Amino acid sequence: MKDPYEVLGVSRTATDSEIKTAYRELVKKYHPDNYSNNPLADLASEKMKEINEAYDAITRARSGQSGYQSGNSQGTYQGAYQSGYQSYGSYRDSNSSGSYAQVRSYINANQLDAAESLLNTAANRDAEWYYLKGSIAYRRGWLDEARQNYQAACAMMPGNYEYQNALRTVQGGYTPYRQSNYQGSGMDTACDICNALLCLNCLCGGGGCR
């Protein structure tokens, strides 16, 4: 196993709060939302596992030394984020008919040619068909085609959250890590401060920090 401090990018002398900050930053960076339908999602999931194990190892070692009790909170993070990667699969399986489920499993395995061949045999071109067609194009990096298909899927089934989410990714939309770390040019500093205060307010539950 790699050095847990190295995995989190902190020194051995870092305080508990520095470690927690570094951990949260990494969790944000490798969050499943950033890798939704991404061909590299498996690598991101592995990375997340490594980060969770490193954080776990450090907090366990430190709690043994200093009596710091944080085992429960770290467990919650792990559970939440690990299930985040898996939830897509379970959601899909429960909503797909036979051949579409097979297409999805090909897509998840990055077997895009097989997925496309099977999809092209489908007689009925419904919203799901367009969504899957868009997903194949997205994984290939063909973003114009992906967007057109996602738009068709959303138009046919406007209330579907999964289709809307997919369309948002191809519109260059929200990615939490990029959003927080690399605001584009021309962002007003005053707005940054207001946003930071608002976020702080939300995190502290609107009142004082506990």
Partner 1 sequence: MFGYVRPRIDRLAAEELDAYRAAYCGLCRALGKEYGFPARFLVNYDMTFLYLLRASVFTPPEPRKCWCPARVCGKKPCIPDPEGYRPVAACTVLLCVEKLRDDVRDKGFFRSLPARLLTLVYRRAWRKACGALPAFAALTRTQLSRLGELEQAQSPSIDAVADTFARIVAGCAADLEDPALRRPMEQLLYQTGRFLYLADALDDLREDCEDDAYNPLRFRFAPKESELEPEILEYLTQLTDASVNLAGAALALLPLCAYGALLENIVYLGLPAVFAAVKAHKFQARAGLPRLMSKRGAPNAERRDT
1 lines the binding site for partner 1 (CB under 8 A):
no
Spatial separation of the C-alpha atoms in residues 46 and 50, rounded to whole Å:
6
Question: Coil, helix or strand for 96?
Answer: coil
- Contact letters (x/-) for partner 1, 157-176, by CB under 8 A? ------------xxxx--x-
CB of 181 to partner 1, least distance (A): 8
Contact string 119-138 vs partner 1 (x = CB under 8 A) = ------------------x-
**Which residue shows structure tokens 């379970």?**
90
Contacts to partner 1 from residues 5-64, by CB under 8 A = 29-30, 34-35, 38-40, 43-44, 47
Q: Are 112 and 140 in contact (CB under 8 A)?
A: yes
* Residue 41 Cβ vs partner 1, minimum distance, rounded to whole Å: 9
- Which of helix, strand or coil describes residue 188? coil
CB of 115 to partner 1, least distance (A): 17
Enumerate residues 6+ apart whose C-beta is below 8 A from 189. none
Nearest CB to partner 1, comparing residues 2 and 210: 2
Rank residues 76 and 183 by Cβ distance to partner 1 and give the closer one: 183
Nearest in space to 197 (alpha carbons), one of 183, 176, 189: 189
Contacts of 69 (CB under 8 A, 6+ apart): 63
Q: How far is the CB of 189 from partner 1 (least distance, A)?
A: 14
C-alpha distances out from residue 75 to 67, 78, 81, 165, 205, Å: 17, 5, 10, 28, 22
In b/e form, how buried is each residue of 68-80, taking b as 16+ CB within 10 angstroms?
A: eebeeebeebbee
Which of 49, 62, 92, 140 contacts partner 1 by CB under 8 A?
Answer: 140
Region 176-195 residues binding partner 1, contact defined as CB under 8 A: 177-178, 181-182, 184-185
Sites of contact with partner 1 (CB under 8 A)? 29-30, 34-35, 38-40, 43-44, 47, 137, 140-145, 147, 169-172, 175, 177-178, 181-182, 184-185
